């Protein structure tokens, strides 16, 4: 048994909640560590004891808060599964969580360590699911076996990320259909 005061799990959660709320709020401009600490009623040092940097907190808030988001369905129709998944991702991108993701992408551009951490903890797990589902589509004969799977996924999800980061066009649920209309003919197996 460790001696001394034990870690306050409640404080940890308050930090994550505060980070999520502050970064995810509409009118945020720049959320500082002090803001998070004050909002969580926690000492700055407590944050630094458990996270190496402000961005790490945001990443944790993102990962913890999105853990069960956008699962893949198993309807037996691969295209329909992707459609449902795309709609889930669009919902997430339009929610406060979208702001956290944007924040992390921003930080990733100037910090390779953050970029890698973001990919490792957020991107890859989700990518694996999509990739697995695409392979399953090949196995069941819905998807052409000679495609380049990574590129197909980039083409399917790329428009979402593009609109999230560039903001040149809004992101609506119906866009899921437009994407698949454009992509699926080149992906679907020939009869």
Closest contact distance (angstroms) between CB of 13 and its own copies is 23
Closest contact distance (angstroms) between CB of 47 and DNA is 8
Q: Does 191 bind DNA (CB under 7 A)?
A: no
Residues 141, 189: contact at Cβ < 8 Å?
yes
Residues 29-88 that bind DNA (CB under 7 A): 30, 32-34, 41-46, 48-50, 53-54
Q: Of these partners, DNA, its own copies, none, which one is at the site of residue 18 (CB under 5 to 8 Å by kind)?
A: none
Q: Which candidate, 9, 112, 117, 113, places its Cα nearest to that of 59? A: 117
Alpha-carbon radius of gyration of the chain: 19
Q: Does 27 bind its own copies (CB under 8 A)?
A: yes
DSSP string, 132-157: HHHHHHHHTTSB-TTS-HHHHHHHHH
The window from 61-69, 71-79, 84-92, 151-159 that contacts its own copies (CB under 8 A) reads 151-159
The 10 Å Cβ neighbour count of residue 5 is: 6
Closest contact distance (angstroms) between CB of 92 and DNA is 25
Which residues make Cβ contacts (< 8 Å) with residue 57, sequence separation at least 6?
A: 15, 16, 19, 33, 36, 47, 51
Query: Mapping DSSP to helix (H, G, I), strand (E, B) and coil, where does residue 116 land?
Result: helix
Q: Does 178 bind its own copies (CB under 8 A)?
A: yes
Q: Does 163 bind its own copies (CB under 8 A)?
A: yes
Residues 86-145 that bind its own copies (CB under 8 A): 102-103, 105-112, 115, 118-119, 123-124, 127
Residues 181, 84: contact at Cβ < 8 Å?
no
Using CB under 7 A as the criterion, which residues of the chain lie in contact with DNA when the complex forms?
1-8, 11-12, 30, 32-34, 41-46, 48-50, 53-54
């Amino acid at each position: 048994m460790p001696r001394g005061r034990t870690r306050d799990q409640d404080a940890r959660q308050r930090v994550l909640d505060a980070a999520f709320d502050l970064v995810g709020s509409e009118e945020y401009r720049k959320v500082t560590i002090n803001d998070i600490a004050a909002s969580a009623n926690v000492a700055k040092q407590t944050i630094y004891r458990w996270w190496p940097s402000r961005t790490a907190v945001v990443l944790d808030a993102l990962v913890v808060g999105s853990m069960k988001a956008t699962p893949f369905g198993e309807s037996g129709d691969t295209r329909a599964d992707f459609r449902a998944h795309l709609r889930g991702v669009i919902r997430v991108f339009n929610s406060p969580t979208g702001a956290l993701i944007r924040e992390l992408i921003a930080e990733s551009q100037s910090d390779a360590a953050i970029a890698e951490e973001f990919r490792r903890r957020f991107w890859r797990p989700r990518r694996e699911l999509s990739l697995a589902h695409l392979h399953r589509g090949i196995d069941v004969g819905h998807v052409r076996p000679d495609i380049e799977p990574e590129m197909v996924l980039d083409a399917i999800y790329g428009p979402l990320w593009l609109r999230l980061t560039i903001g040149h066009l809004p992101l609506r649920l119906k866009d899921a259909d437009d994407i698949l209309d454009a992509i699926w003919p080149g992906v679907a197996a020939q009869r």
